[in-house]
Amino acid sequence: DAKKLVRSPSGLRMVPEHRAARSPFGLDEPPWVPDKECPRCMQCDTKFDFITRKHHCRRCGKCFCDKCCSKKVPLPRMCFVDPVRQCAECALVSQKETEFYDKQLKVLMNGATFFVTLGTSDKSELMVCRLSNNQRYLVLDGDSHYEIEIIQISTVQILTEGFTPGGGNTRAIGMILQYKVPGSEEVTQMKFTAGEDFSCNKKLSAAWLAAMHKASK
């Protein structure tokens, strides 16, 4: 999908040319709190003057002094080219999301292999599951082909094994996905199971499921 470079009061952004091509993980820029409505820092209550300048957090749009809004952190969900100024609370959230963009998102786009069962069928099909390059679809390829729009997914339930009442390690072995068919209120269910015969791919499948769990949050 084609992208364009745009400048906003917050900084340079690389965004899709067409709004319909936007990633479902994206966020809109927030409106800034007007300067006249913000005589004091909204964190520490310090009064703004010629020495104490006000700054707007690029994620929440609130006004802060330099001390409370000094961090410049990547904000991929808003497509900023460079790290942007954020308050401490927003910076913490953005740092966690950057890890998702740097690691888990790549895992989802690389894909993994699962046995996929549709609805109440007793038959499963071996399919490669991956996130599309524009992050808008979950693509399943085998003898059949499915493209599930991410925004139509209503439920993601990760299936695990190894848990005991006394505690212990668990590992992801599958997933139940529910989504709405476009143009209909009908809900379809798919079950994904990591194949036991593909031991070399178990770690890859588990990593993909863990990334999908984070994406659903």
* Measured distance between the N- and C-terminal CA atoms of the chain, rounded to whole angstroms: 25
pLDDT at residue 169, rounded to an integer: 66
Q: Where do the structural domains in the chain lie, given as residue ranges?
A: 3-106, 111-163+170-216
Provide the CATH topology of domain 3-106.
Herpes Virus-1 (3.30.40)
Q: Which of 208, 23, 46 is nearest to 128 (CA)?
A: 208
Mean pLDDT estimate for the chain: 89
What's domain 111-163+170-216's superfamily in CATH? Zinc finger FYVE domain-containing protein 21, C-terminal (2.30.29.160)
Tell me what the mean pLDDT of segment 20-24 comes to.
Answer: 82
Q: Which of 213, 211, 3, 13 is nearest to 100 (CA)?
A: 211
pLDDT at residue 68, rounded to an integer: 96
Tell me what the mean pLDDT of segment 152-161 comes to.
Answer: 90
Pure H helices in the chain: 88-99, 105-110, 202-216
Tally of CA atoms within 13 A in the half-sphere of 100 that contains its CB: 18
Band (pLDDT 50/70/90 cuts) for residue 18 is confident
Q: Give the E-state strand segments of the chain in sequence order.
A: 3-8, 11-16, 54-56, 63-65, 71-73, 84-86, 112-118, 124-131, 137-141, 145-149, 153-161, 171-180, 187-193
Tell me what the mean pLDDT of segment 60-81 comes to.
Answer: 94
Region of poorest pLDDT, from 13-22, 84-93, 152-161: 13-22
CA distance 95 to 114: 31
pLDDT at residue 166, rounded to an integer: 54
**Per-residue model confidence as pLDDT tens digits over 84-128:** 999 999 999 999 888 888 899 999 999 999 999 998 888 999 999
Residue 1 has pLDDT above 80, yes or no: no
pLDDT at residue 170, rounded to an integer: 74
Region of poorest pLDDT, from 64-73, 131-140, 182-191: 182-191
CA distance 176 to 116: 10
pLDDT at residue 173, rounded to an integer: 86
